[in-house]
Amino acid sequence: MSRIIGRQRHRSNQPAENPSECWKKYYIPYLDSIITSLEIRFAEENNSSFALFKLHPAQMQTMSIENLKDACERIAQFYDLPNIKNEIELWRQLWHDKPNQTSLTVVDVLKEAKPFFPETGKALKISIALPCTMCTVERSFSSLRRLKNEISIMITK
């Protein structure tokens, strides 16, 4: 429960009769904000940014050609890669009969794209640079802060 005695500087003391009521006042709004942020992150308008991963051979084999062309249309509009639509049928044919497609990394696939598929190569490079989650970005900022603190300590010594 919240403190009843004393003064808090960063948030007000919410009146609560028991721990259950206190929990409802603090954590239900917090859970609502988490749900809202997840809904925004995985909204329909953000799906175009994740369409890049459908260029991986393991993903392409599970899709119909129409769905693949639709994904390429979204990629072309979202990332400004207009010629990727021309390359996609040849890209799919290249990977059609090759074994062990599920064990390939995006970097391995990118090596195949270099000489003849420039737009597909650009799209794969973008997919490598995309963070998997926001945690990756937040962790890098946290690490940067820790590094700055270490540097400032070393400088003052």
Cβ neighbours of residue 104 under 8 Å, at least 6 residues apart?
A: 56, 57, 58
pLDDT value of position 24: 72
pLDDT value of position 114: 83
Count of CB atoms within 10 A of residue 109's CB? 21
* Residue extents of the structural domains in the chain: 45-129
In Å, what is the CA distance from 44 to each residue of 26, 66, 131, 135? Answer: 30, 19, 18, 21
Instruction: Identify each DSSP E strand in 47-139 by its residue range.
Output: none
pLDDT value of position 31: 81
Count of CB atoms within 10 A of residue 54's CB? 20
Ranges under pLDDT 70 in the chain = 1-16, 22-23, 131-157
Instruction: Give the tens place of pLDDT for each residue, 96-108.
Output: 878 777 888 888 8
Q: Shortest CA distance to 62 belongs to which of 96, 90, 86, 87?
A: 96
CA dihedral 135, 138, 144, 148 (to 10 degrees): -130
Q: What is the pTM of this model?
A: 0.59
What distance in Å separates the CA atoms of residue 6 and residue 13, rounded to the nearest whole number? Answer: 9
